């Protein structure tokens, strides 16, 4: 079964509206909506913003529904070469604010046995990329860097890109992928660019939020239809 996680209501409500036979359930503060999309079982969750919220939602989703793949959808900041509403799909994720360098590890490295960059599922990434391209959306595949920080600084976004090769910045993908790796769940993040992580990021975020979120819904719907 496919699980879909988004941080905000606006990011997941478009998918929820498409579900047939929708049934809601609650686990603590997390609401899960399970239903049929194009005749296939799907479960959707609004996780809330940040790494703790998103990783908790991913673990609960697997525990309750035994999903075998999770796609994290929503908006993201994109490196300055990207434009608002461009599509970004994660080849790898990282947690840019995870720092054990005083203990001899590299920035972002989660443990001695784990690299800073965690790979996403190749087949899932390729399918999402092909669908986005077929719909005419500009698509980039690369590293999405996550942290508990809204990136709204030219200097900070440039530093994260220099350190990790990131093409987009969000607050959830890396944490969800971390959980999926531990549980053996296929993962990819599908993000639409709302801003460029620069000094005017907040204004741009709210200007393009609705339109960018709709791009993800369109691609996900087509993905499930052809799954």
| Helix, strand or coil, per DSSP, at residue 50 | coil
Nearby residues of 205 by Cβ (< 8 Å), 6 or more positions away: 75, 77, 194, 195
Consecutive H or E run containing 131:
helix 122-134
Tell me how far apart the alpha carbons of residues 124 and 121 are, in angstroms, rounded to a whole number.
Answer: 5
Tell me how far apart the alpha carbons of residues 180 and 188 are, in angstroms, rounded to a whole number.
Answer: 10
Catalytic residue numbers, as ranges:
11, 195
Tell me how far apart the alpha carbons of residues 178 and 29 are, in angstroms, rounded to a whole number.
Answer: 21
Between the alpha carbon of residue 61 and those of residues 27, 70, 112, 121, 148, the distances in Å are 10, 9, 28, 18, 21
Tell me how far apart the alpha carbons of residues 60 and 121 are, in angstroms, rounded to a whole number.
Answer: 20
Angle at which helices 122-134 and 201-225 cross, to 10°: 100
């Amino acid at each position: 079964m496919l699980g879909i996680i988004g941080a905000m209501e606006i990011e997941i409500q478009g998918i929820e509206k498409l579900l047939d036979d929708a049934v809601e359930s609650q686990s603590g503060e997390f609401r899960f909506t399970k239903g049929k999309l194009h005749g296939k079982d799907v479960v959707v969750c609004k996780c809330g913003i940040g790494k703790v919220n998103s990783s908790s939602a991913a673990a609960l989703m697997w525990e309750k529904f035994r999903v075998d793949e999770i796609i994290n959808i929503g908006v993201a900041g994109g490196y300055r070469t990207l434009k608002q509403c461009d599509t970004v799909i994660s080849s790898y994720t990282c947690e840019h604010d995870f720092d054990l360098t005083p203990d001899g590890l590299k920035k972002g490295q989660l443990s001695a046995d784990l690299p800073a960059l965690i790979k996403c599922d190749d087949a899932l990434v390729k399918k999402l990329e092909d669908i986005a391209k077929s719909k005419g959306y500009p698509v980039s595949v690369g590293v999405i860097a996550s942290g508990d920080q809204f990136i709204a600084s030219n200097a900070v976004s440039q530093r994260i890109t220099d350190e990790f090769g990131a093409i987009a910045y969000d607050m959830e993908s890396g944490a969800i992928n971390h959980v999926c790796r531990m549980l053996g769940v296929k993962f990819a993040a599908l993000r639409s660019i709302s801003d460029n992580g620069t000094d005017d990021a907040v204004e741009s975020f709210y200007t393009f939020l609705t339109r960018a979120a709709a791009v993800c819904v369109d691609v996900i719907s087509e993905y499930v239809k052809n799954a």
